[in-house]
Structure 1
Amino acid sequence: MRTTHGRRRTRSALAAASAAAVVLVGALSGCSSGDGGAAGGDAALQARPSPAPAPRWNTSPASIAAVGDSITRGFDACSVFADCPEASWATGNDPEVQSLASRLLGAAEAPARSWNYAATGSRMADLPAQLSEAAAHRPDLVTVMVGSNDACRQTASAMTPVPAFRADFEKGLAELRRSSPKSQVYVSSVPDLLRLWETGKDSPMGRQIWKLGICPSMLAKAESTAPAAVARREQVRARVVAYNQALREVCAKDELCRYDGGAVFQYPFSVEQLSRWDWFHPGKNGQARLAELAHRQVTAARPPI
């Protein structure tokens, strides 16, 4: 026979067990309910917007604007000391060159859907204004080739400082993005000016023309092998390398910007590809090579490494 104390202990145990069962059932019911708990958390997560996918590079742009300097204007490609935009690697219509615009848009369509805002003598500081003009057309693609004149100064000490070069490039891209945020940008590297000197230095005619004032920081005293002349040329080349690094780094921050990976800087231009009027700017053959390089990079599925 149980004692009174034993019966009380049994009733307390049963009450505790019943309370625990009630709590467990409630918890299970809450988990299976569609109105709260984990299910409610899942619904909240599903309601959050997914991040926008990164823009994809369009390998078939339908319109092109070009900005930059004398190379993009076709300077000295057709006649002495004169622009020849019809021979421009970017937007020209000369069949001998087959410009980037002609290759992408077709020779018949290119003139109506391409614009050239490059200007002979331009430096990086002029890029923001050029890009502002180009942006008005909302082009699918903008080509940028500028920097040679920043290095080609009267003296090596007068070259554009790298921080200023970088800042003006950033300003130019920001200007473009304000008016035409979806335009793709193809950025050419600055040519290797030392290689151009090496290519033309053995031409007596070329050396005479260079004395007229073509890129004196690199080409002055073209025949000299004195230590000072060698050091000056190396200083100019080092500045061009630094410019190209700035182009690479700034472009990498823009999802719709593609740097050429140094393709133009590394290209081994020959005498046949230089202008026969100044032995410095690309002639039509050189312009055609630039167009070929650009087309290969713009239409590639992936950017150059």
Structure 2
Amino acid sequence: MIGRLGPVLAAVVVLSASGTAQAAQAQPVPEIMAALGDSISTGFNSCGWYVSCAARSWSAGDNGEVRSHYLRLSALSGTLQSHNLNYAVPGATSADLLGQVKKAVAAKADYVTILVGAQDACVRTEQAMTPVATYRRRMDAALAELRAGAPGARVLIASIPDLRRLWQVGKDNPMARTFWTLGRICPTMLAKPSSTRRADTERRNRVRARVMAYNRAAAEACAAYGAGCRTDGGAVFRFPFTLGHVSKWDYFHPNIDGQRALAEQTFDHGFDWIDPR
């Protein structure tokens, strides 16, 4: 989800410096994959009223309209078929990532996707947002656990969507404003959606800056993990999504079109895979 601004994501720079040479090294198709993260990766609200819809997950879903990582990789090799695990949980934050990684290790996953951090920023107050240093420490701990338990695993870290872009595309829509206000959805960013007061503008800018900092921290952690990790280079953050990409049940989570866009952006900016055929 997301708006194109030049300096948005130093994560791009972090990985491009170490990832250019790596990108030429094609990877064998995985045998077991696992999706980790929050409600976005569970397909929440993409097929029903406030429920997860794992089949429509951008990562491990099997819905043909989404064309997830799982389906794209399965088309390259039959070894992955039916080995698509989803340990993401609605409401999960970076604090929950280590536990999800442990499940992926126990399942012997050799390809893991991670999208986590929106819920670290989408809290009741700015003061309650996860500190960047804490987010980085949690990411490092999760990746260290994965490296120790599944040293050959490939990791794709998707950037967190640009939450301010969501406000920009929905602030003039009465239904979106109603859902955000009554549902108290991401209040740090979406509270008082009609307000143009300086205090509210600065609040939104600070929340956006925090998301950008999380993305930088994730990219740095990925680079430290080594050649087995990629980010999307900030593609998800920069993607110019519209209200047509989000669920009409909350005007926040990606609908099936949004999930498809996530799959495209992350897969195209991730690993190069060997086609065994």
Q: TM-score, normalised by structure 1?
A: 0.78
Say which SS state the counterpart of residue 178 (structure 1) adopts. Answer: helix
In structure 2, distance between residues paired with 1:171 and 1:122? 16
Over aligned residue pairs, what C-alpha RMSD do you find? 1.9
Say which SS state the counterpart of residue 210 (structure 1) adopts. Answer: helix
* Aligned-partner residue type, residue 29 of structure 2: S
2:17 counterpart residue number: none
Contact 2:230/2:271 (8 A) holds in 1:
no
1:18 counterpart residue number: none
In structure 1, distance between residues paired with 2:160 and 2:241? 13
In structure 1, distance between residues paired with 2:66 and 2:150? 29
User: Which of the residues 159, 174, 187 maps onto 1:204?
Assistant: 174
In structure 1, distance between residues paired with 2:212 and 2:53? 28
Gapped regions of structure 1 (runs ≥ 5): 1-53
**Does 2:92 match 1:116?**
no
Give the drift of 1:79: 1.5
User: Which of the residues 207, 217, 222 maps onto 2:193?
Assistant: 222
2:253 counterpart residue number: 281
Identity %: 45
In structure 2, distance between residues paired with 1:290 and 1:129? 24
> What does 1:1-305 align with in structure 2 at a 5 Å threshold?
58=27, 60-106=29-75, 112-211=82-181, 212-255=183-226, 256-300=228-272
Give the drift of 1:159: 0.5
Say which SS state the counterpart of residue 42 (structure 2) adopts. Answer: coil
Contact 1:142/1:183 (8 A) holds in 2:
yes
* Cα deviation digits, residues 150-172 of structure 1 (max 9, x gap): 01010112100000000000000
* Aligned-partner residue type, residue 247 of structure 1: A
1:27 counterpart residue number: none
* Cα deviation digits, residues 261-280 of structure 1 (max 9, x gap): 11111011111111111111
Say which SS state the counterpart of residue 66 (structure 1) adopts. Answer: strand
Contact 2:27/2:272 (8 A) holds in 1:
no
Give the drift of 1:63: 2.5
In the alignment of these two chains, the number of paired residues is 248
Say which SS state the counterpart of residue 71 (structure 1) adopts. Answer: helix
2:9 counterpart residue number: none
Q: TM-score, normalised by structure 2?
A: 0.85
Gapped regions of structure 2 (runs ≥ 5): 1-21
In structure 2, distance between residues paired with 1:104 and 1:285? 20
* Aligned-partner residue type, residue 249 of structure 1: E
Distance 1:162 1:103, change over 3 A: same
Contact 2:38/2:91 (8 A) holds in 1:
yes
In structure 1, distance between residues paired with 2:271 and 2:144? 24
Give the drift of 1:145: 0.3
Give the drift of 1:61: 2.6
Distance 1:226 1:175, change over 3 A: same
